[in-house]
Amino acid sequence: MADTNYDVIVLGSGPGGYVAAIRCAQLGLKTAIVERELLGGICLNWGCIPTKALLRSAEILHYAQHAKDYGLKIAGKIEADLEAVVKRSRGVAKQLNQGVTHLMKKNKIAVHMGEGTLTGPTSLTVKGEKGEEKLTTKHVIVATGARARDLPFAKADGKRVWTYRHAMTPKEMPKKLLVIGSGAIGIEFASFYNDMGCDVTVVEMLDRVVPVEDKDVSAFLEKSLTKQGMTIMTGAGVEDLKVTDKGVRAKIKDSKGKVSETEFSHCITAIGIVPNTENVGLEKLVEMDRGFIQIDPYGRTKSKGLWAIGDCTPGPWLAHKASHEGVTTAEAIAKELGNKEVHPHPLDRANIPGCTYCHPQIASVGLTEAKAKEAGYEVKAGTFPFIGNGKAIALGEADGFVKTVFDAKTGELLGAHMVGAEVTEMIQGFVVGKTLETTEAELMQTVFPHPTISESMHESVLASYGRALHI
């Protein structure tokens, strides 16, 4: 019989849970994971990674369709084979799931497959194929994640009304698609299906798309998506959604208050997430706010020995935030268990980057210009457009810009905001800078390689101080 007594049990194996388990094992703690579905959780199997595979297929289709812009002729018609595109994406997910399985074995982490329910802060039962197991431990890390929020008047059915999970494995190509919500998930799927040749309408309740981003990024993106053929409705709301024989009929109220009915073949709801904190036995053990577990900066809940990380805790709800929390919590547990070599650092939310993989890409870290001013900073902000960058022009990707926001008094980098080609790979430069508490002086003195799009990062810093060279 498998061992049932551990130092740490992690409930959930997403990018927070499995990373926490690995770090616990590295620190010599006897560790187990409880998982009800697939190792790797949503991110690896249904979220961050397989969507990037889909978007890559759409990107290559887009390049092929615009081959003549690069002096190339492609004979014959370029078509998307939806089945093959989805198959490739699922293959990527499978590879990563196997990778996590391997990491569990390598680090000697026990895996209990089944539904885990806490019976106290440091004990739980697991109901799986083998029946019921009782597990005890010194510490539990809850990493149960979150799921897509349903519309109250139109629950996702997987046929006509989709969440991200359905949108990733479509049985058919939507002809006319309604996307409700323009956060990262909504915009990524809107971008994918638009590139695949679908007629896409995005409805956003707030006054701009990707509302958490800097308003200049939102304005640029809306313009770009409209130019690509999407219909963008901001300050609008879906008041009713009826599934019909042909698809869905949506009652949409526009920004002027006018209500119209439109037929769509399919609808994707991307209106936020709901934490998976019900039916886990948490009610009496932790404090919750709207279902999210309240924690201290190291992941502690109000019950001794019970910790929580990732999407079931306050945001931002991002995989890399969950992984980082996983390491912090693992080290804090090891310290409590007597390890004097670890020095956990609490999470600094100001240094967590966000990336959206639409076409053009978006990436940002820290405060927007508006939020910096709201917080009382006197700011210096500057923007450098890609049209002033040689590499971007050579790549045929001259649309986009980098914007940086500094504290005028101290020179502290408060935020960076980018839209355009490959910005998701470049943002890390600013994240490292922020984490090392850099100022404009150091960034100005940094030599960026030429020719790269990253030079626009340097120029945006110079622009913040009226010193841009190439514009």
In the 3-class helix/strand/coil scheme, how is the chain assigned residue by residue?
CCCCEEEEEEECCCCCHHHHHHHHHHCCCCEEEEECCCCCHHHHHCCHHHHHHHHHHHHHHHHHHCHHHHCCCCCCCCCCCHHHHHHHHHHHHHHHHHHHHHHHHHCCCEEEECEEEEEECCEEEEEECCEEEEEEEEEEEECCCEEECCECCECCCCCCEECHHHHHCCCCCCCEEEEECCCHHHHHHHHHHHHCCCEEEEEECCCCCCCCCCHHHHHHHHHHHHHCCCEEEECCEEEEEEECCCCEEEEEECCCCCEEEEEECEEEECCCEEECCCCCCCCCCCCEECCEECCCCCCECCCCCEEECHHHCCCCCCHHHHHHHHHHHHHHHHHHCCCCCCCCCCCCHHHCCEEECCCCEEEEEECCHHHHHHCCCCEEEEEEEHHHCHHHHHHCCCCCEEEEEEECCCCEEEEEEEEECCHHHHHHHHHHHHHCCCEHHHHHHCCCCCCCCCHHHHHHHHHHCCCCCCC
What are the residues facing 221 on neighbouring strands?
Answer: none
Residue 1 has pLDDT above 50, yes or no: no
Q: Please tell me whether residues 39 and 113 are part of one structural domain.
A: yes
pLDDT of residue 341: 96
Using CA atoms of 219, 471, 462, 380 in order, give the dihedral in degrees to the nearest 10. -40
Give the model confidence (pLDDT) of 297-320 as tens digits: 999 999 999 999 999 999 999 999
C-alpha separations of 150 from 37, 153, 270, 422 in Å = 21, 8, 8, 32
Q: Express as a percent the part of the chain with pLDDT over 90.
A: 94
Residue 352: inside a domain: no
Alpha carbon distance 319, 42 (integer Å): 10
Residue 341: inside a domain: no
Band of residue 2 on the pLDDT scale cut at 50, 70, 90: low
Alpha carbon distance 436, 13 (integer Å): 31
Give the model confidence (pLDDT) of 25-47 as tens digits: 999 999 999 999 999 988 888 88
Residue 122 has pLDDT above 70, yes or no: yes
Residue 155: inside a domain: no
**pTM to 2 decimal places:** 0.94
Alpha carbon distance 471, 467 (integer Å): 10
The owner of tokens 């009226």 is 466
Q: Please tell me whether residues 106 and 241 are part of one structural domain.
A: no
Backbone angles phi, psi at 212, to 5 degrees: -80, -15
Q: Please tell me whether residues 379 and 281 are part of one structural domain.
A: no
450 in active site: yes
Tokens coding 400 = 């986009």
Sheet strand arrangement including 248-253: 237-243, 248-253, 259-264
pLDDT of residue 245: 86
Catalytic residue of the set 102, 450, 458, 470: 450
CATH number, domain of 385, equals 3.30.390.30
Tokens coding 457 = 């990062």
Q: Please tell me whether residues 31 and 101 are part of one structural domain.
A: yes
Give the model confidence (pLDDT) of 210-254 as tens digits: 999 999 999 999 999 999 999 999 999 999 999 998 899 999 999
Tokens coding 354 = 């966000």
Give the model confidence (pLDDT) of 41-97 as tens digits: 888 888 889 999 999 999 999 999 999 999 999 998 899 999 999 999 999 999 999
Give the model confidence (pLDDT) of 191-222 as tens digits: 999 999 999 999 999 999 999 999 999 999 99
Buried b (16+ CB within 10 A) or exposed e, 202-216: bbbbeebbbebbbeb
Residue 345: inside a domain: no
Residue 443: inside a domain: yes
Q: Please tell me whether residues 291 and 372 are part of one structural domain.
A: no
Residue 11: inside a domain: yes
Q: Please tell me whether residues 75 and 188 are part of one structural domain.
A: no
Q: Please tell me whether residues 432 and 293 are part of one structural domain.
A: no
Q: How far is CA 192 from the centre of its chain?
A: 16
The owner of tokens 């100005």 is 444
Residue 369: inside a domain: yes
Neighbour-count burial of 362, counting CB atoms closer than 10 A to its CB (0-12 exposed, 13-18 middle, 19+ buried):
buried
How many domains, in total, are found in the chain? Answer: 3
CATH number, domain of 180, equals 3.50.50.60
Domain extent for 442? 360-464
The owner of tokens 């329910």 is 117
pLDDT of residue 298: 97
Average pLDDT of the segment spanning 263-270: 97
Cα first-last separation, the chain: 70
Give the model confidence (pLDDT) of 404-447 as tens digits: 999 999 999 999 999 999 999 999 999 999 999 999 999 999 99
Q: Please tell me whether residues 10 and 121 are part of one structural domain.
A: yes
Q: How far is CA 147 from the centre of its chain?
A: 13
Q: Please tell me whether residues 175 and 249 are part of one structural domain.
A: yes
Alpha carbon distance 254, 212 (integer Å): 21
User: For residues 360 and 34, is the Cβ–Cβ distance under 8 A?
Assistant: no
Q: Please tell me whether residues 420 and 434 are part of one structural domain.
A: yes
Residue 135 has pLDDT above 50, yes or no: yes
Residue 421: inside a domain: yes
Q: Please tell me whether residues 197 and 69 are part of one structural domain.
A: no
Band of residue 163 on the pLDDT scale cut at 50, 70, 90: very high
Bigger pLDDT: 152 or 178? 178
The owner of tokens 């960058």 is 389
Q: Please tell me whether residues 170 and 258 are part of one structural domain.
A: yes
